[in-house]
Every structure is written in structure tokens, then in C-alpha cells.
Amino acid sequence: MSSNYLDRAKFAYAEINAYKKKHAAEASGKGGESESLKYQSKLRSYAKSVPSYIKTNGLLATMAFIDTKKIKKREANKNKQSENNYDGEAYQCLYDLIAGWSVQTVLARYKNPKAGTGASAGYFKSDFSNMTEVLANLSVSEYKNTEREILNLFCWVRRFAEGELEGGSEEE
């Protein structure tokens, strides 16, 4: 087994558990366990769908879709709606998962055509507020490598989402 294989597993496990703990803590002050289960159920469901979206539409289109879904979360927070945005939270987590892993692995090796000059300039940095723009600026081989790496990551994300997150079993 390669270290990258294990690194993917560690990253996915850490992110899924961080999401679970975050919403368990938030829910304890709000609607209790049922509130936490709603958040977990959404992420569990969407984590299963992402690989098929990527295979059907490509990583760029999938990230654009996820980006529009997570934007609803930001808009709801701006409007200070009291209603929870379970979907937005789940899509934000998926976006952060993809962006975070891309930064740590594949994109760290590629030159950023929009970056400045200097010793460390020119490579992608860890702040990706717009992954769709980053993906659109990759060469075809860089894009395909990034897409393959994210699909490999989601093998673990799906496993840990099914094993660690509760809820959603009645929908399956």
C-alpha cells in the first residue's frame, strides 16, 4: 500500500469526523440529536453521489454544482434566517474536502499561470475560495490527474460517511 493511499484515508476520516463533531456540538444547544442526524444524513447521502457526478460530468462541472449549492448557505447566513441549511452545510463540507485534498496533493505540484514571480510564487497556494477557476486554468493532464485523485479520495469519503455518519438508512 502506498502512503498516498493511507494519507487519503486519514484525511477523509478526519474531515468526516470533524463534520460529525461540529454538528453534534451545535445540535446539543438547538434541536438535540435529531438536528445532528439531519446534518449527518445529508452529508452521507451527498458523499455517495459525488463520484458518479464526477464520472458523468467531470470534476469542474461537479465543483461548479457544489459551489452553487454551498452559496445558498452563505446567503442564508447573510439574511440571518433561523432555518438551518442542512444541504448548504453538507455541500460546504464536500467543497472543503475536495479543495483541501487538491491543495495538499495534486495542485501543490502545478504552476499557477496567474501567480506572480519569486522563489515560492507560481505554485498553487492553500487558499482556494474558487476551485472552479483553479480547475479551469489547469492543463488537460493536470486536470485529469486532479480528477483521478479526487475520485480516489471519495472511495474513502464514501466509506467513512457510511460508517461514521448516522441517518439516511431509510432512504437507501
pLDDT tens sequence across 78-109: 655 545 678 888 999 999 999 989 888 877 76
User: Residue 117: how many CA atoms within 13 Å on its side-chain side?
Assistant: 0
pLDDT at 53: 97
Q: Give me the residues of the chain with pLDDT under 50, please.
A: 1, 82, 116-123, 170-172
Query: Which of these, 64, 63, 46, lies nearest to 157 by C-alpha position?
Result: 46
Instruction: For residues 166 and 8, give the distance between their C-alpha atoms in angstroms, rounded to a whole number.
Output: 22
Contact yes or no for 172/48 (Cβ under 8 A): no
The confidence score (pLDDT) of residue 159 equals: 93
- Produce one character per residue of 72-108: b if its CB has 16 or more CB atoms within 10 Å, e if not: ebeebeeeeeeebbbbbbbbbbbbbbbbbbbbebbbe
Residue 123: strand pairing partners? 111
pLDDT for 135 equals 87
Whether the full predicted model's pTM is greater than 0.75, yes or no, is: yes
